[in-house]
Amino acid sequence: MRTIQGIPASPGIAIGVAFQFLDDEEPTIPRYAVTERELDGEWDRFVVAVDKSKDDVTALRDRAVREMGHEHGAIFDAHLLMLDDPEVLEAIEYSLRESLLNIEWIVHQYEQAIIKRLEGLSDPVLQERTVDVHDITRRILNHLMFRERFSLADLNTDVVLVARNLLPSDMIAMNRTKVKAIAMDAGGKTSHTAILARAFEIPAVLGLGGVGRTIKNGDVVVVDGNIGDIKIDPDTLTLERYEKVRARMAERDVNLSSLVGLPARTLDGKDVLIKANIEVPEETDSVLRHGAEGIGLFRSEFLFLQPGRAPSEEAQYSAYRRVIESMGGRPVTIRTLDVGGDKVVPDLAIEEEKNPLLGWRAIRYCLSDSELFQNQLRAILRASAYGDARIMFPMISGPVELDAALAALEEAKEECRTRGQAFRADMPVGIMIEVPSAALIADILATKVDFFSIGTNDLIQYTIAVDRGNEKVAYLHEPFHPAVLRLIKRVIDDGHAAGITVSMCGEMASDPFAAVVLLGLGLDEFSMSAVSVPDVKRTIRSVSFEEAQAVALEALTMTSHHATETFLAQRLSGRVSRE
């Protein structure tokens, strides 16, 4: 048995037989000289191949829109723009006539030059755009060489898909009922593959490097998308262990499914709202299936991850409206664009900074780009006419930023009125509390908004001064650090004193132990990944509010993260489980 470690990109555990989607990726490109008399014929072949590629991409776009919505169709809209780009076409024609080499070789060389340029950039998300370049040029070359590429839509047996890379077209076209897991060389958590795998609930481990040399066709593999582990040819004991884990998880899911239609109500009758976080619109199915009572955080960054240019107002409006309508009247909170720091988005002019986590990001960036911000605000406002929508501003550090954001929202409302576009005039407006300064003046900020949402991922990072992406100090990212608990209590108390609701959309909200403490501190709403909803609902239904208050008060007296963990494990033993 061998174990390889990659990036846990989509959670879940799968056991299956490996299917290599590798040999078809890199065809041998012919290289030969052509005469000047043959140049027009070479160019004509290229034009025909481009036209056929446009037909292919248009069909894929239509399927993506039909099955998954316009935001995924935008991936292929960008591909069509590239196929029509006059600068690209001129560059290829110039190289063809200058080099007097066959068109296949010219296209291949052009691809390599663009990929080399992208890979030389420091921005990892821009580096990932090489996938789109590869997708387009492979398609053109396949038509030039009369080469049929195996389609993952033709899979007819259950497989663990092993690949160097999966192009956007592969993910859209593949038979998702047969792909039980994905193991891939390239990609990170923000790649198209990762985002789509999570949306499809397919376990995935990415960033493996050389996976085709390690995993062979027919190998039995275990893919653990929770921690990024892959077991190759596992021994009998390991297989039995994972089968038991899967069986336990399946049994647990069945038991938890009985809670889907039940409220998150404590033993003494206190109701709490549990919502879900989403990144892409098609996740709404999962939200409803797992019994969430709304969407507490719709991360709008995904709409900006498509290659090409920032999404138009219409494209955003369509995506937001689709989510709001899909939720059937349940509340949907849309966070405005949160970029910069560790969230890098292509095609936005965010300069490299020495300390990006403390730099030009989130609301700071949006306030500096009025056109981009107004497009998004108008799109959200217009979509609000179709259901219970709320808007939320990220990384507010003080009243000056908040006032500027609120003024921008009023400007967007006035523009919608001028255009005669309907919107919900009383749409609730909230802010993320994820900066210590905001937590410390929560009483001031609470007078200006309708709700708070505590973003613990960043709040912990900034409070303890620990980069959660730095493996050397990641152990210090402690949700139960006394300072973090005290700040959370302060935010909840100040919010309630001002008569507004307080929710949490950070990872801490999905921890069953933390749920008891947060409930006791008075948190009104929890928001988390959809798959975590039943577990937290079960936790809340297993305790009384009175007991949760006592647990929270005791936790606030603890002097360390470890002491709090130990106390909670002992106090909640037998009733609350993290498994």
Q: Could you give the residue numbers annotated as active site? A: 192, 505
In the chain, the amino acid numbered 120 is G
- CA 349 to CA 271: how far, in whole Å? 45
Sheet containing 220-224: give its strands across. 2-5, 229-232, 220-224, 13-21, 159-163, 179-184, 204-206, 7-10
Phi-psi region of 149 (alpha: psi -120 to 50; beta: other; left: phi over 0): beta
DSSP secondary structure of 508-544: GGG-HHHHHHHHHHT--EEEEEGGGHHHHHHHHHTS-
In the chain, the amino acid numbered 273 is L
Q: Which residue has the tokens 């009104």?
A: 524
CB atoms under 10 Å from CB of 229, counted, come to 16
- CA 49 to CA 542: how far, in whole Å? 63
Helical pair 103-119 and 86-99, crossing angle rounded to 10 deg: 120
For the chain, the helix, strand and coil percentages under 3-state DSSP, each to the nearest 5:
50, 15, 35
| Sequence-distant (≥ 6) Cβ neighbours of residue 198 within 8 angstroms | 9, 10, 11, 204, 279, 280, 283
DSSP, res 215: S
Q: Which of 81, 94, 23, 75 is CA-nearest to residue 50?
A: 81
Whether residue 484 contacts residue 460, with contact meaning beta carbons closer than 8 Å, is answered with yes
DSSP secondary structure of 238-272: HHHHHHHHHHHHHHHHHHHHTTTTS-EE-TTS-EE
